[in-house]
Amino acid sequence: QDDLKNLAADSDFRAHHVHVIGGGVMGGDIAAWCVLRGMRVTLQDRGPEQLGRAVRRARQLFQRKLRDRYRIQEAMDRFIPDHQGNGLGKADVVIEAIFEDPAAKQALFKDIEPHMKKDAILASNTSSIPLQQLGAGLVDPKRIIGLHFFNPVARMPLVEIVTTHETPPDLARDANGFVRRIGKLPLPVRSEPGFLVNRVLMPYLMEAVILLDEGVPATDIDRAARNFGMPMGPVELADTVGLDICLSVAEKLSTLLHGKVPGNLQALVEQEQLGRKTGRGFYEWS
């Protein structure tokens, strides 16, 4: 723990340009948040549709937070959809937020490493893949760090800063400084299954999924949790996070979860019913 506290010391690292790869639920919102905090951001995705959706969500966020027409326009000017990845080589921080697929992430990191500035931070928003695995194909595998944001990005203050024993202390300090500068609360954690938050949260979500399987209606489970004081019930939260992401984290933590992940969760993911983002998960979402 002392070791981790040392990594949390501040640094004078300054990021002006952030490049985010993956413009889905998380990447789009991380990009918009960094713009809101004054940075210029290029957002890369394979699909123009995803970029269009991210731009619309960003505009809504700026309208809510900035109100003034000129400030909203200034923010929109700093939010740059970047289908080709032209911003990569200019960025001080690169944040990867593509699908939770180890092979896809590894291939992407290998691809982008030669095009990045030498001293830029290379971060992954992975929820469950060990950093050692992500960095395996890199010339400098120690340069990958985890910046694990939570959903919804604009409302959740915490960002886990995920490191291994090999992570250079300067890198962890710079990442810590970056997270503070975008107005979030850094929590240094090691790259262990579930990091910290999901290790605590996932058994709770999975118990709710097991209850569903036992025939308890989703609305009853969510109402009970809200009456208890939770801002959102566990079934809606699972749908909001995305069932593919929940499954991936649950698999990594399965030894803590009765040794297996619930079959109903697996079945929905196989049917591409991933929650809010596909319009259907445990609930129907319009």
Burial of 9: CB neighbours in 10 Å, binned 0-12, 13-18, 19+: exposed
Between residues 111 and 220, which has the closer beta carbon with respect to ligand NAD?
111
Q: Which residue is nearest to ligand NAD (CB)?
A: 24
Query: 């299954």: which residue's tokens?
Result: 193
Distance separating alpha carbons of residues 233 and 220, to the nearest angstrom = 9
Burial of 64: CB neighbours in 10 Å, binned 0-12, 13-18, 19+: exposed
Which of positions 39-58 make contact with ligand NAD (CB under 6 A)?
Answer: 44-47, 50
Between residues 125 and 191, which has the closer beta carbon with respect to ligand NAD?
125
Q: In the complex, what is the shortest distance from the CB of residue 21 to ligand NAD, in angstroms, rounded to a whole number?
A: 5
Asked if residue 237 binds ligand NAD (CB under 6 A), the reply is no
Contact at 8 Å (CB) between 55 and 61? no
Residues 6 or more apart in contact with residue 128 via CB below 8 angstroms:
100, 193, 194, 198, 245, 248, 249, 251, 252
Q: In the complex, what is the shortest distance from the CB of residue 283 to ligand NAD, in angstroms, rounded to a whole number?
A: 16
Q: In the complex, what is the shortest distance from the CB of residue 129 to ligand NAD, in angstroms, rounded to a whole number?
A: 7
Asked if residue 19 binds ligand NAD (CB under 6 A), the reply is no
AA letter at 243: L
Which of positions 105-124 make contact with ligand NAD (CB under 6 A)?
Answer: 108
Q: In the complex, what is the shortest distance from the CB of residue 9 to ligand NAD, in angstroms, rounded to a whole number?
A: 25
**DSSP-assigned letter for residue 15:** -
- 81 backbone φψ class: left, alpha, beta (φ>0; ψ -120 to 50): beta
Of these, 99, 117, 230, 253, which contacts ligand NAD (CB under 6 A)? 99
Residue span binding ligand NAD (CB under 6 A) among the ranges 15-23, 159-167, 201-209, 262-270: 15-23
State yes or no: is 165 an active-site residue: no
Q: In the complex, what is the shortest distance from the CB of residue 71 to ligand NAD, in angstroms, rounded to a whole number?
A: 27
Question: Among residues 16, 83, 115, 148, which one is catalytic?
Answer: 148
| Helix (H) or strand (E) run with residue 17 in it | strand 17-21
Residues binding ligand NAD (CB under 6 A)? 21-27, 44-47, 50, 97-100, 104, 108, 125-127, 148-151, 241-242, 245, 277
Active site residues: 148
